């Protein structure tokens, strides 16, 4: 009889997840941002959110004992490349690799510094991961910052804390709208697929989680990514201040910048659309090229939301 929590016979012929965790001593570590998903039915739902997987290579970060990994392989992923920093989990993942011969590549590495591109075959690649919460935002920003765009992945199905998920999809005029919203929506179509209660994880986190789908836009509005990061950092770094003040940290003539973009100097960062920020980034490129650095940089900046 199958127990969806991983406590009895599993439907894929592999040992129950609770037994795997016990046998390999893989107690979740807070320092690694680990919250294991033991409900195999839920893991299957997450895997299905990535669409049909036949012929698809899946890149997974932080597989832990391998619940989601097993779901991806069971649903037909041609190959899963799983990056795991916790050495304790490698032996458990090796058992899955032996069960699905030739379809699981396990990489012992830090996902923040690992470049998957040399490991990727030709054909579609999708990122599917229950991300470690302590590096989730940093990983997303790195995947959004890939210079050759569209990137090597055709979509990303990622688990975040609900608060982070809301920031990713937030619209202007929302308290959740911030730098991450702009960077994500500039290059991707974003959507929250569904929420997952804390009770689904071991140990349960203190907050609800959400599964987010990001689909890269084939042709984002053109601008220099680094300058877009600069203007969003300046604007949201002092989000309660008007643009005429918050943008001073860019070190250019703010009045000229705002005149070039026809933006209201009294507006605040949360009032601007993604297209407005792109316009600012493009105007900043012109200003710096022309050496318009008439305003000194401001001092202390408040932390971004």
Percent of the chain with pLDDT over 90: 75
* pLDDT (average), residues 253-271: 96
Domains of the chain: total: 2
Identify whether residues 41 and 182 lie together within a single domain.
yes
Identify whether residues 47 and 188 lie together within a single domain.
yes
**Last-in-domain residue among 168, 188, 216:** 216
Identify whether residues 117 and 202 lie together within a single domain.
yes
CATH at 81: 3.40.50.150
Q: Whose CA is closest to 71, among 49, 102, 92, 87?
A: 49
3 falls within a domain: no
Q: Give the model's confidence band at 301: pLDDT under 50 very low, under 70 low, under 90 confident, else very high.
A: very low
Identify whether residues 73 and 118 lie together within a single domain.
yes
Identify whether residues 199 and 231 lie together within a single domain.
no
* pLDDT of amino acid 121: 86
* pLDDT of amino acid 29: 73
Query: What would the DSSP string read from start to end of the chain?
Result: -B-TTSSSB-TTSSPPHHHHHHHHT----GGGT--EE--HHHHHHHHHTT---BT-EEEEE--TTSHHHHHHHHTTBSEEEEEE--GGGHHHHHHHHHHSTTTEEEEES-TTT---GGG--SS-EEEEEE--TTTHHHHHHHHHT-SSSS-S-SEEEEEEEHHHHHHHHPPTTSTT-SHHHHHHHHHEEEEEEEEE-GGGEESPPSS-EEEEEEEE-SSPPP--HHHHHHHHHHHHHTTTS-HHHHGGGG-S-HHHHHHHHT--TT--GGG--HHHHHHHHHHHHHHHHTT---SPPPS--PPP-
User: Tell me: the pLDDT tens digits for 72-86?
Assistant: 999 999 999 999 998
Between strands 57-61 and 125-130, the pairing is parallel
5 falls within a domain: no
11 falls within a domain: no
Identify whether residues 185 and 207 lie together within a single domain.
yes
2 falls within a domain: no
Identify whether residues 127 and 24 lie together within a single domain.
yes
Query: What would the DSSP string read from start to end of 117-179?
Result: GGG--SS-EEEEEE--TTTHHHHHHHHHT-SSSS-S-SEEEEEEEHHHHHHHHPPTTSTT-SH
40 falls within a domain: yes
CATH at 267: 1.10.8.100
For residue 258, the enclosing domain spans 225-289
Identify whether residues 198 and 60 lie together within a single domain.
yes
* pLDDT (average), residues 85-103: 94
* pLDDT of amino acid 10: 66
Identify whether residues 234 and 212 lie together within a single domain.
no
pTM score, whole prediction: 0.89
Q: Give the model's confidence band at 36: pLDDT under 50 very low, under 70 low, under 90 confident, else very high.
A: confident
């Amino acid at each position: 009889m199958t127990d969806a929590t991983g406590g009895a016979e599993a439907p894929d012929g592999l040992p129950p997840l609770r037994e795997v965790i016990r046998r390999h001593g893989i107690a979740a570590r807070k320092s690694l941002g680990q919250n294991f998903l033991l409900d195999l039915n839920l893991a299957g739902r997450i895997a299905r959110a990535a669409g049909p997987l036949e012929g698809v290579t899946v890149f997974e970060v932080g597989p832990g004992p391998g619940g989601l990994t097993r779901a991806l392989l069971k649903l037909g992923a041609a190959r899963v490349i799983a990056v795991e920093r916790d050495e304790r989990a490698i032996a458990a993942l090796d058992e899955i690799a032996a069960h699905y011969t030739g379809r699981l590549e396990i990489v012992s590495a830090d996902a923040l510094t690992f470049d998957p591109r040399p490991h990727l075959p030709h054909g579609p690649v999708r990122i599917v991961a229950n991300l470690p919460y302590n590096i989730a935002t940093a990983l997303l920003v790195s995947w959004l910052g890939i210079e050759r765009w569209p990137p090597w992945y055709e979509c990303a199905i990622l688990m975040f804390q609900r608060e982070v998920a809301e920031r990713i999809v937030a619209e202007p005029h929302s308290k959740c709208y911030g730098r991450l919203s702009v960077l994500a929506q500039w290059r991707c179509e974003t959507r929250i697929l569904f929420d997952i209660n804390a009770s689904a994880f071991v140990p349960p986190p203190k907050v609800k989680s959400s599964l987010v789908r990001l689909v890269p836009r084939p042709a984002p509005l053109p601008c220099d990514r680094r300058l877009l990061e600069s203007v969003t950092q300046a604007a949201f770094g002092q989000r309660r201040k008007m643009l005429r003040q918050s943008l001073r940290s860019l070190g250019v003539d703010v009045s000229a910048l705002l005149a070039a973009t026809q933006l209201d100097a009294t507006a605040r960062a949360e009032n601007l659309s993604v297209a407005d920020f792109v316009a600012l980034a493009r105007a900043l490129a012109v200003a710096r090229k022309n050496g318009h650095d008439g305003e000194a940089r401001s001092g202390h900046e408040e932390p971004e939301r």
